[in-house]
């Protein structure tokens, strides 16, 4: 009997110990999982490309010396002689402007190659520059790499010099051979540029785009391929640097053909029902022409800022062309404007007036997805997520104390790593709408709204989401003061 009682007491003691241990131990918190993504999704390379925001094009070749835009293909290689060519100056100019990717026209429509291709004599090898021993592509890549800048290359499909052009098989073999030269010889290339540009009287020619794209991906798996229809980056549909007020990263590639007519409105806006993630790139030149011309000057700072708001500020990457002159240098005026452009963007967006505000939302999915995430430094993978069983979704920024918020730019960014979701939305300041409903039709990676009335003052800014695919996910929200935004004066700034 004593043994039984002793065993019974030991059991009670052990159970009591376990009970106390349970209540005295810290409880493990179980995290709420993220919401499901909305397909299609960007690739890793596309996400990295999107975060660049502004990249640089360099149009350089025989046209630089003939004061033309489209060469005939009959130009002698002897005209190409940039006696002071300095690719380090190009890269330094880009670095000073915060550029992380430079794209060079390795071959334009005239067919002249800026590298010594073994498949043609129409190249730098027959020019007086460096006695035919030079290689512009190599110098470009070396200089960019030394400055921590990634490189891209443009290889024109239209070739006005080569006799194989108009003969499908021989020319496609030639083109693919040159493509392999570039992608094997010059290291890691981050973007390859194809376009459908071709003169009205050009011979009929079928480009084997599928073969080209497959070869590109085989040789460089992390590269982004640009063309009218992607597959990785699409043309925005114009050369003004302007995207549509509604601009989606999604399209249906099967409905597009590179170089086809009538597709530019679709490219400019994208498609909220698109099955392919092919974000838009806005290409525009800092001067009137794509190649350097002595009589032309760079665009003004105000003009470049307008382009920035209508490209980067509409879910695009801005590809700005800065052409070297006939000596082989980027003109000082262009370099100065470009650096001023970068400094101005930094000045406007470095300070987020929402940082010192209280942030409130309609609901919250879990502890990790609170509204405070919209003012942290991660504009991609931390975000506010509302509950999925609630229909009304909004987020509010409210000033603390009696001091009003004073701003003229609203910035909204989606967590596009989980897809582009948000269509129509409304922006209010103290209950009054401050952004035209015709403009607020999509967001994407970054949406910038310059307030048309100029600087506004108030206590609470609210963004209400009306149309969306899946719950809206906001990675960043900003209020900024742009000292260069004068709606009356800047209404006269050109749009091309």
pLDDT bracket for residue 198 (50, 70, 90): confident
Determine the pLDDT at residue 3: 45
Least confident range of 325-339, 346-360, 438-452, 482-496: 482-496
User: Can you tell me which residue has the tokens 């260069």?
Assistant: 484
Give dist(CA 165, CA 446) in Å, integer: 42
Q: Residue 326, SS3?
A: coil
Contact assessment for residue 110 and residue 160, using Cβ atoms and an 8 Å cutoff:
yes
Pick left, alpha or beta for residue 297 (phi over 0 → left; psi -120 to 50 → alpha; otherwise beta).
beta
342's CB contacts (< 8 A; 6+ apart) are 54, 96, 97, 98
Average pLDDT, the chain: 93
Which position has the higher pLDDT, 17 or 202? 202
| DSSP run (H or E) holding 19 | helix 2-24
Instruction: Work out the percent of the chain whose per-residue pLDDT is above 70.
Output: 93
Among 352, 355, 354, 383, CA closest to 368: 383
Q: Is 64 exposed, middle or buried (0-12, 13-18, 19+ CB in 10 A)?
A: buried
> What is the model's pLDDT at position 123?
98
Which residue has 């194809």 as its token pair? 194
> Mutual orientation of helices 332-349 and 301-309 as an angle, nearest 10°?
50
pLDDT tens, 155-184? 999 999 999 999 999 999 999 999 999 999
Q: What is the pLDDT of residue 495?
A: 59
Residue 259 CB partners (closer than 8 Å, separation 6+): 195, 196, 197, 198, 228
Residues 289 and 69: beta-carbon distance below 8 Å? yes
The pLDDT value given to residue 5: 42
Mean pLDDT confidence for 79-100:
98
Q: Is the pLDDT of residue 473 over 50?
A: yes
Give the pLDDT mean for 38-56.
98
C-beta neighbour count of 181 within 10 angstroms: 19
CA distances from 65 to 106, 124, 132, 293 (A): 16, 14, 17, 9
Confidence of residue 259 (pLDDT cuts 50, 70, 90): confident
Is the per-residue pLDDT at 9 higher than 50?
no
Whether residue 135 has pLDDT greater than 90: yes
Q: How far apart are CA 130 and CA 360, in angstroms?
A: 64
Q: For residue 488, is pLDDT > 80? A: no
81: helix, coil or strand?
Answer: coil
Going by C-alpha positions, the residue among 284, 277, 278, 330 that lies closest to residue 309 is 284
CA torsion angle 387 389 391 394 (round to 10)? -10
Q: What six digits make up the tokens of 307? A: 């382009």
pLDDT the model gives residue 160:
97
Q: What are phi and psi of 142, to 5 degrees?
A: -60, -45
Residue 187 φ then ψ, to 5°: 75, -150
pLDDT score recorded for residue 496: 59
The pLDDT, as a whole number, for residue 33 is 96
pLDDT score of 2: 43
| Nearest residue to 452 via CA among 465, 473, 435, 429 | 435
Backbone angles phi, psi at 42, to 5 degrees: -75, 155
The one-character DSSP state at 77 is G
Residue with the bigger pLDDT between 17 and 72: it is 72
**Residue in this structure with the two tokens 């106390």, named with its chain if needed:** 20
- Tell me the HSE value of 464 on the side-chain side, using a 13 A CA sphere: 15
Comparing C-alpha atoms, which of 464, 413, 415, 414 is closest to residue 435? 464
17 pLDDT band, cuts 50/70/90, is very low
Backbone angles phi, psi at 218, to 5 degrees: -70, -40
CA separation for the pair 416, 475 (Å, rounded): 9
Q: Quick one: pLDDT at residue 147?
A: 98
pLDDT at 196: 83
pLDDT at 367 over 70: yes
* Cα–Cα dist 150/391, whole Å: 44
- Which residue, 230, 223, 236, 228, is CA-closest to 192? 223
Q: Is the pLDDT of residue 20 over 60?
A: no
Strand pairing category for 474-480 and 101-107 = unpaired
Tokens 């838009």 locate to 280
The per-residue pLDDT for range 422-433, each reduced to its tens digit, is 999 999 999 999
pLDDT at 199: 85
Q: Which residue has the higher pLDDT, 14 or 481?
A: 481
Domains of the chain and any CATH numbers: 44-350 (3.20.20.80), 358-480 (2.60.120.260)
């Amino acid at each position: 009997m004593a043994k039984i009682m002793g065993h019974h007491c030991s059991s009670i003691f052990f159970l009591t110990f376990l009970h106390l241990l349970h209540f005295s131990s810290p409880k493990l918190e179980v995290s709420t999982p993220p919401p499901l993504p909305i397909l299609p999704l960007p690739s890793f390379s596309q996400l990295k490309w999107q975060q660049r925001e502004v990249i640089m094009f360099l149009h350089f070749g025989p046209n630089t010396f003939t004061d033309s835009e489209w060469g005939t293909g009959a130009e002698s290689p002897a005209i190409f002689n940039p006696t002071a060519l300095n690719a380090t100056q190009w890269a330094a100019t880009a670095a000073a402007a915060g550029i992380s990717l430079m794209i060079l026209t390795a071959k334009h429509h005239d067919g002249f190659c800026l590298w010594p291709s073994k498949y043609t004599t129409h190249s730098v090898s027959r020019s007086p520059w460096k006695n035919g021993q030079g290689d512009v592509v190599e110098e470009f890549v070396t200089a960019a790499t030394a400055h921590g800048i990634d490189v891209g290359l443009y290889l024109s499909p239209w070739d006005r010099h080569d006799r194989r052009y108009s003969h499908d098989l021989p020319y496609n073999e030639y083109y693919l051979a040159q493509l392999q030269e570039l992608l094997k010889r010059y290291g890691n290339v981050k973007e390859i540029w194809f376009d459908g540009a071709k003169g009205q009287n050009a011979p009929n020619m079928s480009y084997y785009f599928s073969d080209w794209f497959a070869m590109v991906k085989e040789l460089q798996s992390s590269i982004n391929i640009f063309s009218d229809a992607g597959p990785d980056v699409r043309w925005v549909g114009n050369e003004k640097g302007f995207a549509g007020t509604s601009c989606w990263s999604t399209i249906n590639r099967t409905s597009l053909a590179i170089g086809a007519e009538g597709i530019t409105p679709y490219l400019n806006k994208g498609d909220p029902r698109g099955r392919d993630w092919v974000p838009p790139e806005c290409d525009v030149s800092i001067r009137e022409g794509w190649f350097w011309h002595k009589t032309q000057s760079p665009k003004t700072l105000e003009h470049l800022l307008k382009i920035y708001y209508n490209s980067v500020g509409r879910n695009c990457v801005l590809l700005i062309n800065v052409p070297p002159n006939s000596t082989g240098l980027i003109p000082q005026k262009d370099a100065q404007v470009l650096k001023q452009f970068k400094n101005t963007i930094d000045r406007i967006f470095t300070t987020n007036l929402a940082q010192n505000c209280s942030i409130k939302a309609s609901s919250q999915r879990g502890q990790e997805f609170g509204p405070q995430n919209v003012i942290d430094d991660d504009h991609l993978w931390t975000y506010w997520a509302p509950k999925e069983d609630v229909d009304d979704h909004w987020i509010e920024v409210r000033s603390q104390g009696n001091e009003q918020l004073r701003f003229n730019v609203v910035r909204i960014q989606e967590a596009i790593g989980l897809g582009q979701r948000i269509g129509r939305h409304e922006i209010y300041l103290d209950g009054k709408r401050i952004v035209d409903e015709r403009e607020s039709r999509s967001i994407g990676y970054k949406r910038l709204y310059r307030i048309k009335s100029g600087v506004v003052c108030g206590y609470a800014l609210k963004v209400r989401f009306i149309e969306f695919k899946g719950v809206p996910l906001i990675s960043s929200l900003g209020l900024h003061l742009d000292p260069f935004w004068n709606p009356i004066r800047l209404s006269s700034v050109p749009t091309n």
